[in-house]
């Protein structure tokens, strides 16, 4: 089993090599190298041409009644790290700002334990590319990576959160995370000389109005008790001060706790964008893509058992959390397989996705020990029920 020092070294190595969605080649190489050092007796380590950076490791159980899956996401974000840590990202403009380096390390810690202590049930460790975009979970399912002998009967995963202290685990019955829709909007007008606005059709003004009107969607069209979010995170338009912009490009994300809510916001956004296009005599191209970012719905029975385990474990503080507006393509996988996702406290003042995000590493052993303890108890419970 990996020691705390070994886990920390692995996490720091992974932290230095963040790669974007579906480009996780170095990360995969590193994971395979670490896994190669574990006891291989009951392990089957697999990669796949259909999703080249994914890894699945199957551990054969001693007398299995089912296959239990555990998923860790692998990709980083297009963020320039500003932590000044000695093990900062070595990849310019890329950062593990969402804690996926910790997610992978926790998975390796659990995997290394069960490679030395054969579990009763089969275990499946899915190192998943592309959580931040491209929806690697959905791709894996559609390309039948998680089928046949590799089909999990249950699936578990965690996400780190800076909002909880180390030693605290957050979870809830029902919806843990929102579903999301990725938004891409292009507005097309007429470029021209800054001195002759009457001869051009300015898409900076149209885009500014669009961003402004978008703010009314949640505040005026959505039930405030149900809630929703629409954020425009990127707006590009124009080339220089004295040229009127004939094109504007906007990117954003919609968040809602139910499919109905997401669809309602999608519909309002289409209507508002069409209205702006009409009033500015512009052409609009709007692309809304939900991919696999479905709401994360925790399975009632498994999650109740998991929460019960946490409440009875003295080293852990359990906290019931509110649903969060973060998205996760594990939501897609939980729509196919029953399971539970939970928050692992890593306590930091910086938020997820911030360039200064610096999660506390002591949380790694909390994650590893929690999952080893829970899975062991869970498998024994199955044995008792046979």
Ligand X SMILES: CC(=O)N[C@@H](CCC[C@H](N)C(=O)O)C(=O)O
Where does this chain bind ligand X (CB under 6 A)? 98, 132-133, 159, 180, 182, 253, 293, 326-328, 352
Residue 305 CB, nearest distance to ligand X (Å)?
24
**Nearer Cβ to ligand X, position 103 or 378?**
103
Choose between 15 and 58: whose C-beta lies nearer to ligand X.
15
In the chain, the largest separation of any two C-alpha atoms, in whole Å, equals 81
Residue nearest to ligand X (CB): 180
Q: Which is nearer to ligand X, 24 or 202 (CB)?
A: 24
In angstroms, give the least distance from the CB of 188 to ligand X.
24
Q: Which residues contact 4 (CB under 8 A, 6 or more apart)?
A: 364, 365
> Which among 106, 140, 152 has a CA at the least distance from the CA of 2?
106
Number of residues that make up the chain: 386
Residue 55 in contact with residue 32, Cβ under 8 Å? Answer: yes
Question: How far apart are CB 180 and ligand X at their closest, in Å?
Answer: 3
Query: Of 28 and 180, which has the nearer Cβ to ligand X?
Result: 180
CA angle centred on 116, ends 108 and 38, rounded to 5°: 50
Q: In this complex, which beta carbon is closest to ligand X, that of residue 253 or of residue 376? A: 253
Find the shortest distance in angstroms from Cβ 349 to ligand X: 17
- Report whether 166 contacts 358 (CB < 8 A): no
Which DSSP string do the residues of 229-243 spell out, in sequence order? EEEEEEEEE-SSTTE
CA 385 to chain centre: 34
Per the residue annotation, which of 19, 24, 73, 348 is the catalytic one? Answer: 73
CB of 251 to ligand X, least distance (A): 9
Supply the minimum distance, in Å, between the C-beta of residue 329 and ligand X: 7
Shortest Cβ 382–ligand X spacing (Å): 30
Helix extents (H) in the chain = 4-15, 25-36, 100-116, 136-142, 203-221, 259-279, 300-311, 330-336, 362-385
Distance CA 161, CA 184 (A): 28
Is the distance from CB of 310 to CB of 328 less than 8 angstroms?
no
Q: 248 — alpha (psi -120 to 50), left (phi > 0) or beta?
A: beta
> Taking each helix axis from N to C terminus, what angle separates 259-279 and 203-221, rounded to the nearest 10 degrees?
140
| Nearer CB in complex with ligand X: 38/70 | 70
Measured distance CA(192)–CA(242) in Å, rounded? 9
For ligand X, the closer CB: 154 or 328: 328
The residue among 121 and 348 lying less far from ligand X, judged by its C-beta, is 348
Choosing from 19, 24, 131, 132, the catalytic residue is: 132
DSSP code of 199? G
Residue 141: name the closest of 330, 296, 300 by CA.
330
Q: What is the DSSP string of 212-272?
A: HHHHHHHHHHS-TTT--EEEEEEEEE-SSTTEE-SEEEEEEEEEESSHHHHHHHHHHHHHH
- Minimum distance from CB of 84 to ligand X (Å)? 23
Verify whether residue 132 is a known catalytic residue.
Answer: yes
Catalytic site residues?
Answer: 73, 132
């Amino acid at each position: 089993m990996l020691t705390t020092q070994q886990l920390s070294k692995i996490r720091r190595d992974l932290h230095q090599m963040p790669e974007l969605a579906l480009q996780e080649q170095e990360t995969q190489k590193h994971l395979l190298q670490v896994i190669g050092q574990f006891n291989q007796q009951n392990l089957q380590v697999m990669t796949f041409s259909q999703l080249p950076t994914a890894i699945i490791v199957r551990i054969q159980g001693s007398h299995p009644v089912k296959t239990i899956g555990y998923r860790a996401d692998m990709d980083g974000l297009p963020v320039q790290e500003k932590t000044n840590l000695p093990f900062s990202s070595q990849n310019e403009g890329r950062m593990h700002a969402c804690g996926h380096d910790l997610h992978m390390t926790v998975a390796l810690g659990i995997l290394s334990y069960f490679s030395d202590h054969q579990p009763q049930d089969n275990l499946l460790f899915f190192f998943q590319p592309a959580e931040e975009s491209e929806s690697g979970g959905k791709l894996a399912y559609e390309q039948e990576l998680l089928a046949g002998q590799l089909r999990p009967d249950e699936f578990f995963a965690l996400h780190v959160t800076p909002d909880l202290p180390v030693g605290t685990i957050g979870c809830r019955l029902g919806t843990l995370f929102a579903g999301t829709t990725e938004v891409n909007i292009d507005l097309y007008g007429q470029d021209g000389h800054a001195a002759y606005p009457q001869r051009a059709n300015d898409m900076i003004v149209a885009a500014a109005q669009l961003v402004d009107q978008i703010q009314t969607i949640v505040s005026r069209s959505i039930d405030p008790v149900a809630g929703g979010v629409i954020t425009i995170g990127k707006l590009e338009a124009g080339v220089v001060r004295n040229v009127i912009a004939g094109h504007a490009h906007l990117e954003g994300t919609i968040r809602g706790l139910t499919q109905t809510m997401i669809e309602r916001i999608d519909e309002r956004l289409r209507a508002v964008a069409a209205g702006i296009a009409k009033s500015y005599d512009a052409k609009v191209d709007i692309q809304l893509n939900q991919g696999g970012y479905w709401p994360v719905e925790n399975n009632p029975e498994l999650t109740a058992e998991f929460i019960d385990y946490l409440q009875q474990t003295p080293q852990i503080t359990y906290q019931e959390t509110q649903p969060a507006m973060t998205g996760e393509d594990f939501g897609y996988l939980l729509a196919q397989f029953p399971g539970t996702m939970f928050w692992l406290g890593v306590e930091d003042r910086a938020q997820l996705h911030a360039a200064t995000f610096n999660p506390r590493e002591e949380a790694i052993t909390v994650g590893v020990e929690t999952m080893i303890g829970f899975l062991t108890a869970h498998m024994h419970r199955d044995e008792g029920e046979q």
